[in-house]
Structure 1
Amino acid sequence: METRPQSPQPPGVPRWVAMFREPTSGAWRLGAESPDRSPVLYAIGEMAQVMRARGDEVTVALWGPRGGAWHRFDAPVTVTGPAEPPPPATPAAQEPTRLAERMHDRRHQVLMAGLSKAGLYDLAPDDVTAVQTLVDRLDEATLRRVAHWMAVAGTGR
């Protein structure tokens, strides 16, 4: 049975805080803080992606206010291993033009924004592959529609 390290309570008045465990030292550090939960959840996803890209193990705990006191809202989450690298380009593939590359990046941003609004901030390797597939195969108008559906689902409307 795996036991995860427990995050210490953050200092100061209760607010939304993400505590990250340093993989090398084992020490906990404050990674993000805000009076609102959403920016902290977004920061957790972004920091987890960066840490996984470096090959680091990601352990994070979310703290926040409940009844005027500190409360840990979820058990520490540990994600190991690097993010999946993109598959190598085939020799027959041609270099994309600057415009095609920008449009690809734009479609990716649109989809990631939709996922964030739906409450999905930290993507597993399978999720990253699914996002890449959608970005590669859908036109921008269709992708925007899908992102809109996710954003509406995230607001509970």
Structure 2
Amino acid sequence: METRPQSPRPPGTPRWVALFHRPASGTWQVGAEAPDREPVLYALGEMTQTLRARGEDVTVDLWGPGDGAWRRYDISAPAPAPAPTPTAQPPAPGDQAPTPLTERLHSRRHQALMAGLSKAGLYDLTAEDVKAVQTVVDRLDEATVRTLARWLAAAGPGN
């Protein structure tokens, strides 16, 4: 019987992180990370489906915040109850309510930028940094965000 390898705790402040195990190298790789659980779970599902389609065995760990510290979550367990949020106001005249596609594209831009920041060695984001990330994600298209993330990754430690 094969034992499941243990993933290392991600560095930096707690956020949602999906780690994929690479059996060939025996290493763990960040597959997705974001301040919210849902985009990471979505990316985790997409990546798992892709890896299985390639015939690869998939071993994944989900890390996130728990009582102010890192906590490993059981992926098969239901999501924790979300914190109560204020009631959404209807969109202003001229504004459109976000569609699932626009929300998904927003999440993809956010994940790409966070991955670039992570590869650049920037894990501990301040509130001002989080606001800057959100502004970039809101205002730039996906191709531009991915280019920016690639630049950050290339400038990161070890490159």
Q: TM-score, normalised by structure 2?
A: 0.46
| Higher Rg | 1
Calculate the TM-score normalised by the size of structure 1.
0.46
